[in-house]
Every structure is written in C-alpha cells, then in structure tokens.
C-alpha cells in the first residue's frame, strides 16, 4: 500500500490525524496505533524535526510498552513541530490549540515527552478535561521527581542480576545520562548496595572504581555543573563512559548511543535500557552474541507510563511505586524465562509476549482497534 498506509499491519495504526493551523504556525500529528486494551496513552513530543514515520514508530512502541506492562491502555503518540524552547506564551498557544483540535478523540490521552512537561499537560487538561503527568496540585504524581522510571530500572536490574548470578551488593554500575531517569536509577541501585563506578552527561564523564557518591553527584548537577567537572574521580569525554568496566551498564540519555562503531568496547555483563532504543538493531544483536544480557527498553523503562496510568485511575504515589515494582519485576522474569526456553534474544521474547497480549485483547473487540474509551463529557 502507499499514500501513508505503508505502516499498516495487523495491529494498527487505527488513526493518523494531521493538524494544521497556519495563523499560529501549528503543525502536528496524532497517531493512535491500537486501542484494544483501552484508550491509548502516549507522550506529546515537541521538536523541530519530527515526522509521521517517527510518530508511528513511537506510537507502536507505546502499544507494546503498555501491553507488556499489563495496562488497560493502547498505544498512541502525538508530535508538534517547533522548537520546545520557544517563548512560553507561544508554546502555550500551540499546545492549547493542538489539544482543542484533537478534543473529539477519546481514544488518546496526552502525556509528557521530549519538549513537554507537567505544565504543558495542565494546559491540555484545562482545554479538553483529560491528560496525564499533571502537576501535583491538580492530582498529578510527579513521575520524574519521584524517579518512577529509575525505580522500574532498579527492579529490572535486580531480576536480571539474579539470572546472571550477580550479587547486587557490590555490583559495579555505570549510568550514561544523569537526568530524570539516570540519576534515580543510580540512587536506587546504590541504596541496594551496588557501587556507581561511572556516570556521564552531555558534557563529560566521571569514573572511580572505588565508587562515586550519588547524592554528591546529584547536588553537583543541581548546582549547574557537568559531571565532567566532579572532583572525586577520573574525568573524560562523554563517550568514554562506554569503556568503563562494570557489571550493569545503563543507557539513560539518547537513542542509538550503542552502535556498530562502539559496541565492541562495552565491558559489562548486563545492560538495562533506560533510554528508548539506545542500541541500533545490529548492535543489540551483537550484544546478544557476546553474551551480554540486555533488558529491552519497553520492559525496563515502563515505570513512567505505569505511574501515568495509575494517576489516570486516581491512584496514590505509593500505590504507583508498588505497581511499578510488581509489573516490572514480573515482566523481566517472564521475558527472561521465555527467552531461555525458546532460545530467543530478550527483545524477541519481549516483543512476542507484548504482541500476544495485544492480540488477546483484540479478540474481545468487534472492530479491534476502534475506540473503547470512556465518555468524558
Ligand atoms: P533528561 O533530559 O532528564 O536527562 C537526559 C540526560 O542525558 C541529561 O543528563 C543529559 O545531559 C544526558 N545526555 C544527553 N546526551 C548525552 C550523551 N551523548 N552522553 C551522555 N549523556 C547525555 O531525560 P530523561 O527524562 O532522564 O530521559 C532519558 C531517556 O530516557 C530519554 O531517551 C527518554 O526518552 C527516556 N525515557 C524517559 C522516561 C521518563 O520517565 N522520563 C521514561 C521512559 C524513557
């Protein structure tokens, strides 16, 4: 098929909407991929260089992530063209107008993503009555502040370590990217007895085989400094973080950071994927051949969306953290068991498990991907 239908397969997408309003330079896309399990949840991304293809890939990733996490939600994603650092009034006007243009879509729930945050979600809710990832004052559970995704990474690491005969007590951890995901993963893992031996941000890297103090590193970042200027260790370029010998390596920065050019340099036993698609497909295949255990992104980093789904149900922060722990620990266990039984790479096993859950949900539907969202009005 052509004319934009080239993405269609047995799962979706069920809907692709282009929004255009020339008077305010509004150009946006919504892709609702699959809603068999419930109304789709996915982030609103704001960037100057997004595309329908990227939006579709991100929406499909949400279908699999939400299904793998056992959430009553399908997958969707929306993108707005523009520089997220534009003046606040202009950004607010665009986001409010985009939400208004999509107000009739009950099968998509906006959440935060790159270039948007809880304030943007408050604007969306003010316009159309629903969104997730809200400020605390209006019922939100601030997922980045509490470290929802880092908490999930910790539990994925805990189960992966058991499967690899690694004692978390004393396990050497390296974290690439020390933002909302990376710093909390480091915090939870070191709290459980692991040792942070290396970390990086976009400007530099710090390593110390005797261990780095996570609270001091967090304070250093909060004071506006790069990790590459931290005193207690050996500093270097951001990319040097790939070479540090460790037991658990956590990418928590950008896509495709491990690729054909550097995959042989990784010196770890386990990778827990915090960032989305941090490895190219061939690099991940190479890690599998090298016997490095990889817990794929949509299993390991689902803590944020689990938290958002719990917020949507009106749940509390402690219940959300409990749900993240249970779901991610159980899913990691299930994926690793399936991978072992069927001799599959963990990503293949995880995809098989998630797709099966989506297909099962689809059997209950007459039109499997049409909206089954509640009526908000
Ligand atoms: P963030 O902006 O808070 O932090 C990103 C960190 O990565 C920053 O410290 C930045 O300096 C660093 N960085 C950027 N380029 C780098 C490079 N080349 N080398 C080393 N460090 C680099 O972002 P975040 O919310 O922590 O998200 C990180 C990743 O995890 C993103 O890929 C995001 O899509 C993904 N993710 C986030 C969540 C969440 O809950 N926030 C959930 C799932 C997936």
DSSP assignment of 1-42, as one string?
--TTGGG--SS---EEEEEEEGGGTEEEEEEEEE-TTSSEEE
CA 88 to centroid of ligand 1, rounded, Å: 22
CATH number given to 5-138: 3.40.50.10860
Q: Which CATH class is domain 148-303+330-349?
A: alpha beta
Domain with CATH 3.40.50.10860 in the chain: 5-138
For residue 198, what are its two tokens? 């290396």
pLDDT at 173: 98
Top mutation candidate among 58, 203, 237, 253 for ligand 1, by most atoms within 8 Å of CB:
253
Runs of H (alpha helix) within the chain = 52-68, 88-101, 118-128, 143-146, 148-163, 182-191, 214-222, 281-289, 297-300, 303-312, 317-342, 346-362
Residue 374: pLDDT over 60: no
Q: CATH 3.40.50.720 region(s) of the chain?
A: 148-303+330-349
What per-residue confidence (pLDDT) applies to 375?
52
Close Cβ partners of 330 (under 8 Å, ≥ 6 residues apart): none
- Averaged pLDDT, 71-94: 97
For residue 302, give the ligand 1 atom closest to its CA: 43
| pLDDT tens digit sequence for 240-291 | 999 999 999 999 998 899 999 999 999 999 999 999 889 999 999 999 999 9
Q: Could you tell me if the CB of 276 is within 6 A of ligand 1? A: yes
2 — pLDDT class (breaks 50, 70, 90): very low
Task: State the Rg of the chain over Cα.
Answer: 20
Mean pLDDT (whole number) for 87-111: 96
Using CA atoms, how far apart are residues 218 and 197, in angstroms rounded to an integer? 15
Does the pLDDT value for residue 120 go beyond 70? yes
């Amino acid at each position: 098929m052509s004319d934009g239908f080239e993405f269609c397969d047995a799962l979706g997408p069920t809907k692709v909407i282009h929004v255009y309003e020339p008077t305010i330079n509004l150009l946006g896309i919504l892709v609702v991929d699959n809603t068999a399990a419930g109304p789709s949840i996915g982030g609103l991304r704001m960037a100057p260089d997004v595309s329908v293809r990227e939006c579709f890939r991100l929406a499909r990733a949400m279908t699999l992530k939400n299904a793998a996490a056992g959430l009553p939600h399908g997958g969707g994603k929306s993108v707005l063209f523009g520089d997220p650092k534009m003046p606040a009034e202009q950004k607010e006007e665009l986001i409010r107008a985009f939400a208004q243009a999509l107000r009739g879509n009950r099968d998509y729930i906006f959440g935060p993503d790159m270039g948007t945050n809880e304030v943007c979600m408050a604007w969306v809710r003010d316009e159309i009555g629903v969104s997730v990832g809200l400020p605390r004052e209006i019922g939100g559970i601030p997922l980045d502040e509490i470290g929802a995704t880092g908490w999930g990474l910790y539990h994925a690491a805990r189960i992966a370590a058991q499967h690899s005969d690694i004692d978390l007590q004393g396990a050497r951890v390296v974290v690439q990217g020390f933002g909302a995901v990376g710093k909390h993963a480091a915090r939870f893992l070191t709290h459980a007895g692991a040792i942070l031996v290396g970390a990086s941000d976009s400007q530099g890297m710090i390593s110390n085989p005797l261990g780095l103090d996570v609270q001091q590193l967090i304070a250093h970042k909060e004071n506006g400094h790069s990790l590459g200027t931290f005193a207690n260790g050996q500093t270097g370029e951001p990319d040097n973080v790939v070479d540090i010998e460790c037991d658990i390596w956590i990418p928590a920065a950008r896509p495709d950071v491990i690729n054909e050019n550097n995959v042989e340099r990784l010196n770890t036993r386990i990778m827990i994927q915090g960032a989305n698609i941090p490895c190219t497909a061939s690099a991940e295949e190479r890690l599998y051949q090298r016997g490095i255990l990889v817990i794929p992104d949509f299993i390991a980093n689902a803590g944020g969306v689990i938290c958002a789904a719990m917020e949507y149900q009106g749940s509390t922060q402690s219940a959300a953290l409990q749900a993240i722990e249970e779901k991610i620990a159980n899913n990691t266990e299930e994926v690793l068991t399936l991978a072992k039984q069927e001799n599959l790479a963990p990503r293949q096993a995880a995809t098989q498990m998630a797709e099966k859950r989506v297909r099962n949900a689809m059997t209950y539907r007459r039109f499997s991907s049409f909206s089954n969202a509640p009526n908000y009005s």
